[in-house]
Amino acid sequence: MREREIILMLVTLLLLTPSITLAETRTEETDIVYPEDVGGGPGDIVLIAYNLPECLGSNWGHAQIYLGNYSINDGDNTGDGNFADADRHKVVETTFYSGNWGLFRKFRYYWIAFRVIMGWGIGSCAIEFLKKLQQCTYSGEERKWGGVEINSLHERLIGKGGKIWGYCYGRVNMSKVGQSIGKNISEKDELSLRKAAMDYAIQRANKIWPRLGYTEEVPEKQSSRPFDYLSPWYYDSKQMDEFTVEQVNQNHSLAKTPDYGYYCSELVWAAWMHAGKEILGKPIDLDGDNTTKAVLPRDIYESDLVDWYHIHTKWVI
């Protein structure tokens, strides 16, 4: 009986969870509070809840890095890296697109994720299913299977019918970071850390990386870094790579590892790990849950190093 109730609940969540699209909505931009409106800015963290149970329970389902008006090189590597001269309210994120999957594939993926989160484990058929998804995303077609992208925060917060999802904004607490590594963090250091985190993620969103397949070789296709379906649900892992495009082009085996792809919260975690190593000589670990090796959005929400300064946990239509 309990298993039947759980399945019914999962089906309900599946039907409530939106397929990610870039369709226009009727919601006004002024209906959303942006980080700058509440004292935030570029480099902050955005978490989103795509259904009401998540929203009320603060079990966030998606993570992004807020770019705001930070230069994203205007798409052609000519930007100057200043906090200006780019579109407002941009985010860099790793996302996947399930809109064309069909109900069974969509249900199966969310059921696998649900089993892992509940600690029930997954079987060999589920692992093969995830490997097939990994092969698809590592082969290209990011708008079908997913990858690292730069998108509009406004579009990501809006569901079908103009619904505003639950969301929250967080800022890495530099005082706590300094205490954890035994060093005072200056304003200059903070600015450098924010830039380093954003640049790390933006570089992986640039369409300069070869996608060659995961389990099978495919013709090379230039794109952003792929979505990683295996690490959070099968490998229980998170990785921070420091590959350059030149290294990957010289050694294609690098493009066939879990390190090459990212899931949403892993990209946020890795960007700040890299920023800490580059600017402070020590990583900044935003994983607030040491019971698992993967890092989910809720683990970042539990991090002692992040202050959540705005939380919107109501659906607004």
- pLDDT mean across residues, the chain: 85
Quote the pLDDT of residue 160.
74
Average pLDDT estimate for 91-109: 91
Record the pTM: 0.87
Q: Please determine, for residue 20, whether its predicted confidence score (pLDDT) is greater than 80.
A: no
Q: What is the pLDDT of residue 31?
A: 80
Residue 24 pLDDT level (bands cut at 50, 70, 90): very low
Whether the predicted pLDDT of 275 surpasses 60: yes
CB 298 within 8 Å of CB 60: yes
Percent of the chain with pLDDT over 90: 68
Q: Calculate mean pLDDT across residues 5-14.
A: 44
264: pLDDT strictly greater than 80: yes
Cβ-proximal residues to 299 (8 Å cutoff; 6+ apart), any chain: 265, 287, 288, 289, 292
- Give residue-wise pLDDT tens across range 27-56: 454 589 999 999 999 999 999 998 644 444
Q: How confident is the model at residue 87 (pLDDT cuts 50, 70, 90)?
A: low
Q: How confident is the model at residue 75 (pLDDT cuts 50, 70, 90)?
A: very low
Query: What is the rounded distance in angstroms from the CA atom of residue 134 to the CA atom of residue 150?
Result: 21
Determine the pLDDT at residue 73: 52
Q: How far is the CA of 122 from the CAs of 217, 233, 265, in angstroms? A: 26, 8, 21
Sign of CA dihedral 281, 286, 287, 288: positive
Q: Which of 61-70, 78-87, 148-157, 158-167 has the lowest mean pLDDT?
A: 78-87
Q: Which amino acid is at 133?
A: L
Checking if the pLDDT of 298 tops 50, the result is yes
Domain boundaries, the chain: 2-17+41-312
pLDDT value of residue 212? 94
DSSP the chain: -HHHHHHHHHHHHHHHSPPP-----S--GGGS--GGGGT--TT-EEEEE-SHHHHHHT---EEEEEEET---GGGTT-----S-SS-SSEEEEEE---TTS-HHHHHHHHHHHHHHHHT----HHHHHHHHHHHHHHHHS-HHHH-EEEEEEHHHHTB-GGGPBPEEEEEEE-HHHHHHHHT-PPPHHHHHHHHHHHHHHHHHHHSTTEEE--SSS----EEESPBB-SSIIIII---------HHHHHH-GGGGGSGGG-B-HHHHHHHHHHHHHHHHTSS--------SSSS--HHHHHT-TTEEEEEEE-S-B-
Residue with tokens 């190593």: 277
Assess contact for 144 and 267: CB atoms under 8 A.
no
- Asked if pLDDT for residue 14 goes beyond 90, the answer is no
Other Cβ atoms less than 10 A from the Cβ of 122: the count is: 16
Per-residue pLDDT at 143 exceeds 50: yes
**Range in 140-149, 207-216, 271-280 the model is least confident about:** 140-149
Query: How much is the pLDDT for 313?
Result: 80
Q: How confident is the model at residue 180 (pLDDT cuts 50, 70, 90)?
A: very high
Give the model's pLDDT for residue 69. 84
Mean pLDDT within 62-72: 88
